[in-house]
Structure 1
């Protein structure tokens, strides 16, 4: 969960490295550092943000080869000593690393027994010493010998004062890409770091290494045999990695711009995929024909965090429209219970980045056991996109804020597209298909309507921000919405928020209701409205303050509530509209508390370590 950047070329490396780290800071922001190879190896690193590193850089830091890193801590606290890059005792080798060395304790003990003085608490430092102690004649050989002693995951970049023209990189479990420029080359863990300079990139596979020089790159395996990895052009507009597509809010937090971008993101997700004539959808990227789609008897959805919660929404939608059993499960737990992989089950892996390691490992487990798995991802060329048998690209545009908004919305739309297609090859009528296709077409405009209520939501958020603990409740379609709402609030306000099915309150949690514990209730206009309203009376009778996210048609009688209304769509599609105001609620509550919305404590955007 860290950001890596590297440069080799004719320009001074330091400014390019700092620029790249700034664009990767969403991947880790407790410390940062760079190593530059010029007449000697020079390293500067600093606890804190990239801006703190930039302020600490010496005025003269000459060198045209370098690597940089922004860190999210796994081993050791955020200190200058624990910041990357890490070096060997002689200061000849510098290493940046994303991942976890499982046998770090044993390696540290062995190095200490050999008289090596270890100066950090990190697992990464062992790499630098192992490379320095290798007897190989080449930097490639030294890195391979070091990696042979390591157990765990890594995205790794190494420079050496004795080999000043190159960077050697390696991947096992953590993403790394090589960017091809004009007589200059780049290395990064994320396209965001280099897209201003090149959109021609090569994605390293697990177990692959590369040597990167100013004139090109070569890839190879641990036995030093060459591989044939090629660079290709990525179809992306570099400008979208700037301050956001929504030009009216320049300088605003990225989460805010990404909330406002949702109507346009949903339009992109839908573009070219709706068949109004036959009431179905076009999803050629699935690589599944109608006969194959009909053969599936179950759908299993795997994701982490918000992707898991939207997977629950998707499972409910698939069951309702396609009438096949569907469920969602945390990808982080899936492979550890030795799952039974069924040939007639369609597995769906959900990840904004396409690099979430728990989800990627679940995909690999499914593939290893012969299952059919498709991806729902936002990043073209990502690891999950390449590992699956097909999938649906979300086209949400780059999402930088840690708390997911537009990616989550487009994930739900992706599930709706899949559910309609699965339903139409089964028993979903053309009339219902057309009804849902029309509903999807209305979504961008309706999301825009919800965003216009921001001031009213912000006023409610100001009050909720003062509560130390909150409940979010909903039933059936509304329960995953409640879970996602609680997640958002926890992520960026640090308030305790717990989600429950509304029907479960009377089975224990009702004991916690009091005037100090507000409840945010999801109450759509559907077949369960009366039961939901009855539960609201139970909460009100115990003095619990109520915020109700609902439709204009819902009559709450004499209940004293703060009401947030969203427009009605088709009942099956309403959950996504009910989710949008919860994003605004969390955002404005965080602002009211004076917190950094885009960089919540202890969290990073892409979770690329177990």
Structure 2
């Protein structure tokens, strides 16, 4: 959601800011804008719509060596030119871009109106510009500090002052802000993607920190003006990681990258000598791991479904009770935090607001939390006690594909590691190690049937709705398959445990409502085939995702290579990603940026 970019240096800021905004488009947005300072004058240009609309309408002489820019995802006020960021004060001296939400904005707006302030937008962000401008402070940083003490809510902000044209002031509380360190230039952003072309190192602000950034240096301090010390880390990603590389969409590129992503998640973590997984980042001894009596996974969206796959692996391999729960529900239900429970937080971005809040609640109550995240240095990565980095590489399409798959692979490693510490014998350990080593090649095989999947996708896209069903290992695969279809094609889809058909959903079965069935070749095969019989007997049509031919029980079939039963869900979900992608393409959808959705959900 929402993207921030800032630049101060020797170059013209405008091209750098526009490039940064383009690299943040994947996060989801409805408007964009830019502000620069030149010759002591603040100039702002903003538009509802895409970054390309902003660039096309840009005044030719708009330039400056310091500037901030933003892509907005509407919270307060509809998408419009007026509501787009940056927002300025009445004197056109202060400009602010803001991610997050000011919770007491309505009350503060009324107070400012009573003091004679005239607002030009419906946003909560504009009041920050007015508050900062009205502070009688010695410098911009102190004015920002005083203004922020008057508000409640989440924010990541960047602030310009026309009378201080050599600097940008940043602040963070609940929404990520990064500083990019370059050669005689500094950048700021809400996401690493905006920094990769112009910075070599990066610094992450913590909640409650402010920073003042100039072309040559930066300084950081707390809201009560205590200086803080930051350590810069080297940027691991390259600019090419954020480009489509000949693919029509990032989603298709990232689906195709999954064999390499699986290999990257596994690399260096398979221990053949001890028939286990090597996970040094857990920061837990074997004795500490053995002391846990259960595992509780917390996540949202696709990460939650990966957690459900993972919980099944943990129970199967480590023989430890495990469950997955929505972090959005967990954080509000006053959960009992048990010292003998290992909590695992899962997030591609490492910034998911509900998951981060759940991590903080668990930590507050003394629980032990591991993270499964894809972005080093992210908020969740810094908040947990240890964990597993996915190393899947940047994921830019809003719909998660390679990160979801790498999450399930990470859970397989965790389950193997815990299993070998408990009751899983070396023969089973070697069996799983061998299967994990073969996963990249099997993933490539599972993703090979593009022409066939295009035809199946056209059939699915022609339906008004569809069911996805599966049992035990297949159920989270069905959930994720239905979600992918919904979010990128806008075709309604619902997932059910296959055994639940007779408890209500069978009433909807008809020739017009297809069913996608996950049918692994395992101990539940006969049960799954019985479910297909029930659908056929009521006139329904079935697309089966299976390891073998199913005869007349499957009207259409996607064959997937077989792995070990515990790992089968990883491969069974892959063709469903392509099914959703090609259905969306057939319907002409905006695949990488589906309507109403954002990549990184950093507000509730």
TM-score, normalised relative to structure 2: 0.99
In the alignment, the residues of structure 2 paired with residue 223 and residue 445 of structure 1 have an alpha-carbon distance, to the nearest angstrom, of 55
Out of 576, 579, 597, the residue aligned to residue 582 of structure 1 is 576
Q: Equivalent residue of 1:77, what SS? A: coil
Structure 1 equivalent of residue 457 of structure 2 = 461
Structure 1 equivalent of residue 254 of structure 2 = 258
1:62 to partner: Cα distance? 2.1
The reply on whether 1:331 has 2:327 as its aligned counterpart is yes
Structure 1 equivalent of residue 186 of structure 2 = 185
Deviations 1:432-474 (A, max 9, x none): 0100111111110011111111111110001110111111100
In the alignment, the residues of structure 2 paired with residue 558 and residue 489 of structure 1 have an alpha-carbon distance, to the nearest angstrom, of 25
Matches within 5 A, 1:179-578: 179-244=180-245, 250-552=246-548, 555-578=549-572
Structure 1 equivalent of residue 122 of structure 2 = 121
1:336 to partner: Cα distance? 0.7
CA contact (8 A) 1:492 1:586 kept: yes
CA contact (8 A) 1:92 1:161 kept: yes
Structure 2 equivalent of residue 89 of structure 1 = 90
Deviations 1:220-241 (A, max 9, x none): 1111221112322233344322
CA contact (8 A) 2:196 2:235 kept: no
1:347 to partner: Cα distance? 0.7
List, as ranges, runs of 4+ consecutive aligned residues in structure 1 with deviation greater than 6 Å: none
In the alignment, the residues of structure 2 paired with residue 515 and residue 206 of structure 1 have an alpha-carbon distance, to the nearest angstrom, of 54
Deviations 1:141-190 (A, max 9, x none): 11111101111000000001111111000000000000111111000001
In the alignment, the residues of structure 1 paired with residue 495 and residue 106 of structure 2 have an alpha-carbon distance, to the nearest angstrom, of 39
Q: Equivalent residue of 1:240, what SS? A: helix
Q: Equivalent residue of 2:166, what SS? A: strand
Structure 2 equivalent of residue 247 of structure 1 = none
In the alignment, the residues of structure 1 paired with residue 524 and residue 247 of structure 2 have an alpha-carbon distance, to the nearest angstrom, of 43
Structure 1 equivalent of residue 60 of structure 2 = 59
Q: Equivalent residue of 2:552, what SS? A: coil
1:251 to partner: Cα distance? 4.3
In the alignment, the residues of structure 2 paired with residue 471 and residue 112 of structure 1 have an alpha-carbon distance, to the nearest angstrom, of 52
1:277 to partner: Cα distance? 2.4
Q: Equivalent residue of 1:391, what SS? A: strand
The reply on whether 1:27 has 2:27 as its aligned counterpart is yes
1:515 to partner: Cα distance? 1.4
The reply on whether 1:606 has 2:600 as its aligned counterpart is yes
1:559 to partner: Cα distance? 2.5
CA contact (8 A) 2:197 2:238 kept: no
TM-score, normalised relative to structure 1: 0.98
Structure 1 equivalent of residue 4 of structure 2 = 4
Structure 1 equivalent of residue 136 of structure 2 = 135
In the alignment, the residues of structure 1 paired with residue 601 and residue 197 of structure 2 have an alpha-carbon distance, to the nearest angstrom, of 24
In the alignment, the residues of structure 2 paired with residue 221 and residue 397 of structure 1 have an alpha-carbon distance, to the nearest angstrom, of 32
Q: Number of aligned residue pairs: give it.
A: 603
1:281 to partner: Cα distance? 0.6
Structure 1 stretch displaced more, 104-113 or 568-577: 104-113
Q: Equivalent residue of 2:316, what SS? A: helix
CA contact (8 A) 2:543 2:554 kept: no
In the alignment, the residues of structure 2 paired with residue 235 and residue 519 of structure 1 have an alpha-carbon distance, to the nearest angstrom, of 43
Q: Equivalent residue of 2:102, what SS? A: coil
Deviations 1:203-234 (A, max 9, x none): 00000000001111000111122111232223
Deviations 1:388-412 (A, max 9, x none): 1111110101000000000001000
Structure 2 equivalent of residue 15 of structure 1 = 15
RMSD: 1.0
In the alignment, the residues of structure 2 paired with residue 417 and residue 232 of structure 1 have an alpha-carbon distance, to the nearest angstrom, of 27
CA contact (8 A) 1:9 1:65 kept: yes
Deviations 1:579-605 (A, max 9, x none): 001000000000000011101000111
In the alignment, the residues of structure 1 paired with residue 374 and residue 394 of structure 2 have an alpha-carbon distance, to the nearest angstrom, of 8
CA contact (8 A) 1:27 1:71 kept: no
In the alignment, the residues of structure 2 paired with residue 265 and residue 303 of structure 1 have an alpha-carbon distance, to the nearest angstrom, of 21
CA contact (8 A) 1:277 1:434 kept: no
CA contact (8 A) 1:523 1:551 kept: yes
Q: Equivalent residue of 2:418, what SS? A: helix
Q: Equivalent residue of 2:398, what SS? A: coil
Q: Equivalent residue of 1:336, what SS? A: coil
CA contact (8 A) 2:529 2:553 kept: no
CA contact (8 A) 1:301 1:328 kept: yes
Structure 2 equivalent of residue 112 of structure 1 = 113
1:560 to partner: Cα distance? 4.9
In the alignment, the residues of structure 2 paired with residue 310 and residue 230 of structure 1 have an alpha-carbon distance, to the nearest angstrom, of 33
1:338 to partner: Cα distance? 1.0
In the alignment, the residues of structure 2 paired with residue 560 and residue 482 of structure 1 have an alpha-carbon distance, to the nearest angstrom, of 16
In the alignment, the residues of structure 2 paired with residue 374 and residue 501 of structure 1 have an alpha-carbon distance, to the nearest angstrom, of 29
